[in-house]
């Protein structure tokens, strides 16, 4: 049995964003084994998120990486070799729903600045999470591109802190995991 049921490898040699949705055993040491693999095999990772799935003994890791097809293939194969890895789906922008959450804290001493930022936030369907005399903190949910765009937009005000969750993703359409 091969673990990757619907891998999407195309012919391009160019670097592209891939989203790996990886089902792993939910037990201690698994995250360590996976991150250690990235380090020892020299793979570059953009983000990694972990959370429990619909089954309590399984976690879903979402890993995003920008790479060419050959490197991606090695990454998938090396991940598959790990005994705690149950299944891997290679997703991309087209066949997945994917979201990231970011918290962005900005300088906002001036009341008009606060109003401007609040306006931008509502255009981006963001939420104001905290507001003080000095700062304003906005929550943005969306694709990494959308979060980057918002960051650019507000960069003039002075960004003080950013916390991003990394991408979480699921394949679109019918469920094809048979676990």
Q: Which residues would be at the binding site for another protein (CB under 8 A)?
A: 1-3, 24-25, 29, 32-33, 36, 40, 70, 73-74, 77-78, 80-86
Nearer to another protein, 31 or 118 (CB): 31
Q: Shortest distance, CB of residue 74 to another protein, whole angstroms?
A: 6
Q: Shortest distance, CB of residue 160 to another protein, whole angstroms?
A: 35
Could you tell me which of 100, 87, 10 has the C-alpha nearest to residue 49? 100
Nearer to another protein, 30 or 108 (CB): 30
Nearer to another protein, 32 or 111 (CB): 32
Nearer to another protein, 20 or 106 (CB): 20
Query: Cβ-count burial of 125 within 10 angstroms (0-12 exposed, 13-18 middle, 19+ buried)?
Result: exposed
Q: How many CA atoms lie within 13 A of 6 on its CB side?
A: 16
Instruction: Estimate the crossing angle of helix 111-123 against helix 144-154, to 10 degrees.
Output: 160
Distance CA 100, CA 92 (A): 15
Q: Shortest distance, CB of residue 44 to another protein, whole angstroms?
A: 17
Distance CA 132, CA 47 (A): 31
CA 49 to chain centre: 6
Q: Shortest distance, CB of residue 140 to another protein, whole angstroms?
A: 35
User: Computed over its alpha carbons, how large is the radius of gyration of the chain?
Assistant: 19
Q: Shortest distance, CB of residue 113 to another protein, whole angstroms?
A: 47
Q: How far apart are the first and last CA of the chain?
A: 12
Nearer to another protein, 15 or 25 (CB): 25
């Amino acid at each position: 049995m091969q673990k990757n049921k619907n891998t999407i490898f195309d012919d391009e040699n160019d670097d592209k964003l891939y989203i790996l949705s990886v089902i792993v055993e939910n037990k201690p040491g698994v995250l360590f084994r996976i991150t250690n693999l990235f380090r020892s095999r020299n793979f570059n990772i953009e983000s990694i998120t972990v959370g429990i799935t619909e089954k309590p003994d399984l976690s879903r890791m979402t890993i995003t990486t920008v790479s060419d097809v050959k490197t991606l293939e090695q990454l998938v194969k090396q991940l598959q070799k790990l005994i705690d890895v149950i299944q891997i789906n290679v997703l991309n922008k087209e066949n997945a729903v994917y979201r990231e959450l970011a918290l962005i804290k900005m300088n906002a001493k001036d009341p008009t600045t606060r109003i401007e930022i609040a306006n931008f936030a509502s255009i981006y369907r963001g939420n104001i999470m905290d507001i003080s005399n000095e700062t304003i903190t906005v929550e943005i949910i969306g694709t990494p591109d959308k979060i980057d765009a918002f960051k650019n937009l507000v960069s003039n005000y002075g960004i003080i802190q950013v916390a991003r969750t990394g991408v979480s993703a699921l394949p679109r359409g019918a469920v094809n995991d048979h676990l």
